[in-house]
A and B are shown apart, each in its own frame.
Chain A
Amino acid sequence: MNDAPADAVARWASAGVAQLPGVLPAGLAAELLMGLRRLPLAIVEAAHETVWAYDVAVPPVRDPQLFEPLFRLVPILDELVPQLASAVCGRGLVAHAPTTFRVVAYRKGSWTAGAVDAPAGMVVATIALSAETWPDAWGGHPAEGWAATGALTLADAARARAVPVLTRHVERYELRTLLAPAVTP
């Protein structure tokens, strides 16, 4: 299990949310953004949010015809992120749906409020892709602050991680995956 920064552990314990910078290798966020922002995202409405999204499933066997950065991303999401999250949260976590993730874009009209509709004990892992920022009053980014490109944010699915309504024509991309409690024999 990786060593977790003490501040992340403390923040998780107190608020159910923690951030770890630089989880993606330098440049990978920019490469992913180049490809993923061309996906045909659709607006998705749930009780706790309205965002634009596209669910990506990466084939288990490397397909040379597919966007290559995806195959560098999958081990990070399926192995590194659960290891880091387990260290921060103090309990074993695994990828809930390996080799899959959701591309999420906040565009004008997008927002998040309230708990994610997920079973107890789940953790939402989010990796920031966009580098652009804008005035806080426009909304569209977490109330607790901007996440740097490539940073991993862990959030207790049962707790709110509010993103106020984005009121202008700007957009912010992130990747999301769910982590489930590891089953111990």
Chain B
Amino acid sequence: MKLAARWRDPAAIADAAQAWRDGRNLRLTRVLDDDAIATLRDAVAALHHPLVAATAPEYAYQYGAVASPPEDGCDHVWCQFARWWWQDGVAFVDAITGLRLRPPRDRVLMSTELRRGAFLDPHNDYDGARRVAYVLGLTRDAWAPALGGHLEFLAVVDGATVVRERRAPGWNTLDLFAVDRDPPLHQVPIVTADVERRAITGWLY
């Protein structure tokens, strides 16, 4: 696993760091090397993502997920990526955010697959320990927002919830947003068509 060559340029890191300082919420593009992202996507897509779901009145969600830590001696792309992400990936995010972040204690990596019926209701990820949320986009296809599956940042204006920013499922994108203070309310509207939103998602601490 390796980053795309563009990130060897300190100016690219500096630009991203400035964007982070401006809003503590950004999308990076062309993150990994082309071969690396394709290999990761294909390996992840080959895994069965059983549904996880919760329903109202709790925070409601429904999506397919695979979650496990990298195993010692494991040569699977999943393990290769997880080892890389929890070390070099976190260092990359540190460089952009200026934070000293760490992986979750259990080093569990999660892949999510949102297919027909999947959704995440509005939430803000805050739990007192998480500092930065990340979403590494592994979705090649594009579709209209009306079909769901886009990441939406929300605001409450005059008592009504409105979409402040919408990000389509991405290919080789990395969404980063701070969730430690003023965590942004966000959602993924329900997917109503036969499309697949894939991503590696989680939080850094």
Contact = CB atoms under 8 A, between A and B. Distances in A.
Nearest to B56: A169
Interface in A106-158: 107-111, 139
Interface residues of B, number: 14
Given A109-B117, A109-B118, A165-B116, A43 B53 contact: yes
A172 to B, nearest CB: 13
Given A108-B55, A108-B190, A165 B117 contact: yes
Contacts of B56: 107-108, 169
A100 interface: no
A40 to B, nearest CB: 12
B190 A167 contact: yes
Contacts of A164: 192
A50 interface: yes
B108 interface: no
Nearest to A42: B53
A165 B62 contact: no
Interface residues of A, number: 14
B60 interface: yes
Interface string B164-205: 000000000000000000000000001110000000000000
Contacts of A110: 117
A111 B191 CA distance: 11
Contact of A50 (B55, B116, B192): B116
Nearest to B57: A169
A45 interface: yes
Given A108-B62, A165-B190, A165-B192, A45 B51 contact: yes
B148 to A, nearest CB: 8
25 contacts: A43-B51, A43-B53, A43-B62, A45-B50, A50-B51, A50-B116, A50-B117, A107-B55, A107-B56, A108-B56, A108-B60, A108-B62, A109-B53, A109-B62, A109-B117, A109-B118, A109-B190, A110-B117, A139-B192, A165-B116, A165-B117, A165-B190, A167-B190, A169-B56, A169-B60
Interface of B: 50-51, 53, 55-56, 60, 62, 116-119, 190-192
Interface of A: 43, 45, 50, 52, 107-111, 139, 164-165, 167, 169
